[in-house]
Structure 1
Amino acid sequence: MNVPASAPGGFRRVVRHFAPSWFAAVMGTGVVSITSFHYGETYPLLRSVGTWLHGLNLVLFVLLFVPWTLRWLMERQAAVAALRHPIMGQFYATFGIALLVLAGECLLYGHPLALSATLWGLGVIFSVLFSFAAFWLQFHGQQMELEHVTPGMFIPPVGLVVVPLAGQALLPQVPAGWRELILVANVASLGAGSFLWLGLMALTVHRFVLAKRLPGMLLPTIWINLGPIGVVSLDLIALAQGLPLPGARETLPVLALMLWGFGLWWFAMALLITLAYWRRGELPFSLAWWAFTFPLGAYAAASHRLGSLFGLESVWAIGFAAYLVLLVLWTAAFLGSLRGVVSGKLFLDPPAPSPSAAP
């Protein structure tokens, strides 16, 4: 029996209106767990925080996987319509990224290698699949206006550049016959994601300068640019250890440090713009608040790695400051989501489709 979309409750309504951006919560929780683990080298209590968040994230993924999958089976028309939406469609890539983040967590916390490898392999498949789906729709006739362009377009490339993080960590642990395949997948994904991100970054800056400013519900997406900045920095350091090329160990970390400097500029700009929206009362809660978390966590993790690698205490300290901000933003996103689920507000009928609709 079909439940009307306007019904006050019911699991069918949750499935029908289950936003594709929900897996950003797994991304955000996972990166807080991983970053807590690394900063736990200095502050041991944070290791306990990271372990607790890892357990929470495994449960969270399972809880979200059920309605996400059922939406494709029971409400396929709604799922496909969201995929074709010029803004919401970008957020389907969060599913693949969530799998990759969980793979990295499982490696870090000592789960069986088979589990980490399976999660990583599935994450690669879905990250590639949704990156092609997003850009196929944009390249193959979907009409987009300048105001459709948001930093949410970075999400499919982010999925590609996240591939090498757990992928490089897997290399020493898998049978020799798999190592070249994984290394090539890592390098190919990094190349594809990095250059797509650079092209889209130029497009989004063009939009920021020449079009209306982002609506408040989408403002958190401006932080997404920190995601590829942080992740690519970590990728370059990881590849420097794994590529059998002369000079890689010296040159790639320097490039990562330069990229980190751009991230510091973007971090400051995103913070200033966010505070300006907050003061004007133009920052209502939405699932887009999870866009605050993973990008900032990736930047904090890159700061920790670069600060430790080069012995730069200021870089490490900036990363720890970013981590503290991350804890505040993660808490706000988590509690806001919990309130939205309990009240049912996150599963209400969406407004009439428009390019500015929040994901």
Structure 2
Amino acid sequence: MPRPFTRLPEPWAFVRHFTPNWFAMTMGTGVLALVIANLPWAFAGRDDLAFALWLINALLFVTFSLLFVARCLLFRDTFMPMLTHPVQSMYLGAIPMGLATLISGMTLFGARHLGNGVYPLAQALWWVDALLAMGTAMLVPYLMFTRQDHALEKLTGVWLLPIVAPEVAASAAGVLVPHLSAEAARQMLAVGYLMWGMSLSLAFSLITLVLLRLALHKLPDTDFAATSWLPLGPLSTGCLGLLSMGRDAPLAFAGTPLQGAAELARDIGLIGGLALWGAALWWLVAATLFTRHYLRDRMAFNLGWWGFTFPLGVFGLATFELYRLTALSLFGVIGAATALQLIAVWTLVMQRTLRGIWHGELFSAPCLRRAA
């Protein structure tokens, strides 16, 4: 058996070259745990399997957070190259999105595995996540406008990552709100709707640009194959957030002057969720066709492949939520197919990632190569 880390570009490369796109691994693993936990059909070991995946994801998130902080403290010269890199900086949005999957899992598994005391912790972490998401959504576009070099022919769906983070936090709020006091629930829902509106409006603008770029310059290189799935994320998360927050709003605002508006939000949430799901379905089919095209070119593995997982997972979660609300078998069938596809894709990408970690070939930050 070959020795590990034989392809590290330099000693301590796993710290110096640690990039934020590793947090996409926590996004994909976390959403898989949530999809399994939210399957409408029970089977032996379902909840235990979902909780085990959530625990693995929690360990990954803590490990990656320590590595990222270590890089920023021990190799300060690498911080600005990361921020000004036109691709690596986008993955800063993966940090709050990975944290959001942990918060949702804490809420789902709290009573059975972690005890009711986990809800105050989840609430505190949600506000941290909201601040990180808003900060990323503000900072990275500012750097795009002032410090980074971009061109239309180089545009990919990776531009969506920093601005979608608030929308993912809003969807996590929909999971947590039923376990909070009425006043805390109202505050969280109000902030959640604000973040949802800000994020989705910007996401629609960028998706429009992505479509224009595809029409004018065709598909990106195979290194960016997974980015063709990223527009599916904000459309699916937008649907899920609208459904979950609308479902919780009537109870949270009961007996207040906003009770009528909250009941309207529930009804509009279903209609708007169906509309967003339809848009997401179009992009799911398009991204599948794009991937078939890329497979003929023998894509080389990179960490960007985790971009295949999270959009597919949130589409599955949104589909299951529509199935519960409408009882239409169409959503059940599509949701089940999506879950199976996610399991297969996650297994493949995790296998390739572990192999890359063993050899050390994934620890090479593009921003440092460019700076050199």
TM-score (norm 1): 0.91
1:248 aligns with 2:254: no
- The one-character-per-residue Cα deviations of 1:25-80 (angstroms, maximum 9, x if unpaired) are 11110100010011163434433321221111111112211111111111222232
Asked whether the equivalents of residues 138 and 144 of structure 1 are also in contact (C-alpha less than 8 Å), the reply is yes
- Residue 309 (structure 2) aligns with: 293
1:2-17 alignment to 2 at 5 Å? 10=11, 12-17=12-17
Q: Whole-Å Cα distance in 2 between the matches of residues 306 and 167 of structure 1?
A: 18
Q: Whole-Å Cα distance in 2 between the matches of residues 8 and 218 of structure 1?
A: 22
Letter in 2 for 1:66: L
Asked whether the equivalents of residues 240 and 321 of structure 2 are also in contact (C-alpha less than 8 Å), the reply is yes
Asked whether the equivalents of residues 9 and 363 of structure 2 are also in contact (C-alpha less than 8 Å), the reply is no
1:87 aligns with 2:103: no
1:1-359 alignment to 2 at 5 Å? 10=11, 12-39=12-39, 41-110=41-110, 111=114, 112-140=118-146, 142-243=148-249, 244=259, 245=261, 246-281=263-298, 283-348=299-364, 350=366, 352-353=369-370
Instruction: Give, in angstroms, the shift of residue 19 of structure 1.
Output: 1.6
Bigger relative contact order, structure 1 or 2 (CA pairs below 8 A, ≥6 apart)? 2
Q: Whole-Å Cα distance in 2 between the matches of residues 169 and 104 of structure 1?
A: 6
* Comparing 225-234 and 297-306, the one that deviates more: 225-234
Indicate the SS of the match to 1:132.
Answer: helix
Asked whether the equivalents of residues 40 and 47 of structure 1 are also in contact (C-alpha less than 8 Å), the reply is no
Letter in 2 for 1:163: A
Indicate the SS of the match to 1:347.
Answer: coil
- The one-character-per-residue Cα deviations of 1:132-162 (angstroms, maximum 9, x if unpaired) are 1111112235332113311011112221111
Asked whether the equivalents of residues 24 and 291 of structure 1 are also in contact (C-alpha less than 8 Å), the reply is yes
- Note closer, same or farther for the CA distance 1:8–1:209 as it changes in structure 2 (3 Å cut): closer
**Gaps spanning 5+ residues in structure 2: where?**
1-6, 250-258
- Note closer, same or farther for the CA distance 1:141–1:61 as it changes in structure 2 (3 Å cut): closer
Q: Whole-Å Cα distance in 1 between the matches of residues 25 and 87 of structure 2?
A: 18
- The one-character-per-residue Cα deviations of 1:172-229 (angstroms, maximum 9, x if unpaired) are 4334443333122101100110101011011111111112521111110111111112
* CA-based RMSD: 2.0
Asked whether the equivalents of residues 36 and 46 of structure 2 are also in contact (C-alpha less than 8 Å), the reply is yes
Letter in 2 for 1:290: W
Q: Whole-Å Cα distance in 2 between the matches of residues 353 and 109 of structure 1?
A: 43
Q: Whole-Å Cα distance in 1 between the matches of residues 9 and 209 of structure 2?
A: 41
Letter in 1 for 2:134: V
Indicate the SS of the match to 1:325.
Answer: helix
Asked whether the equivalents of residues 40 and 46 of structure 1 are also in contact (C-alpha less than 8 Å), the reply is no
- Note closer, same or farther for the CA distance 1:248–1:121 as it changes in structure 2 (3 Å cut): closer
Instruction: Give, in angstroms, the shift of residue 312 of structure 1.
Output: 1.1
Q: Whole-Å Cα distance in 2 between the matches of residues 49 and 147 of structure 1?
A: 43
Q: Percent identity?
A: 29
- Note closer, same or farther for the CA distance 1:7–1:269 as it changes in structure 2 (3 Å cut): closer
Asked whether the equivalents of residues 87 and 148 of structure 1 are also in contact (C-alpha less than 8 Å), the reply is no
Instruction: Give, in angstroms, the shift of residue 272 of structure 1.
Output: 1.3
Instruction: Give, in angstroms, the shift of residue 271 of structure 1.
Output: 0.9
Instruction: Give, in angstroms, the shift of residue 349 of structure 1.
Output: 6.3
Q: Whole-Å Cα distance in 2 between the matches of residues 103 and 256 of structure 1?
A: 22
**Gaps spanning 5+ residues in structure 1: where?**
1-5, 355-359
Indicate the SS of the match to 1:353.
Answer: helix
Q: Whole-Å Cα distance in 1 between the matches of residues 363 and 17 of structure 2?
A: 5
Q: Whole-Å Cα distance in 1 between the matches of residues 211 and 343 of structure 2?
A: 28
- Note closer, same or farther for the CA distance 1:176–1:258 as it changes in structure 2 (3 Å cut): closer
Indicate the SS of the match to 1:213.
Answer: coil
Letter in 1 for 2:320: H
Q: Whole-Å Cα distance in 1 between the matches of residues 217 and 106 of structure 2?
A: 43
- Note closer, same or farther for the CA distance 1:192–1:39 as it changes in structure 2 (3 Å cut): same
Letter in 2 for 1:257: L
Instruction: Give, in angstroms, the shift of residue 352 of structure 1.
Output: 4.4
- Residue 253 (structure 2) aligns with: none
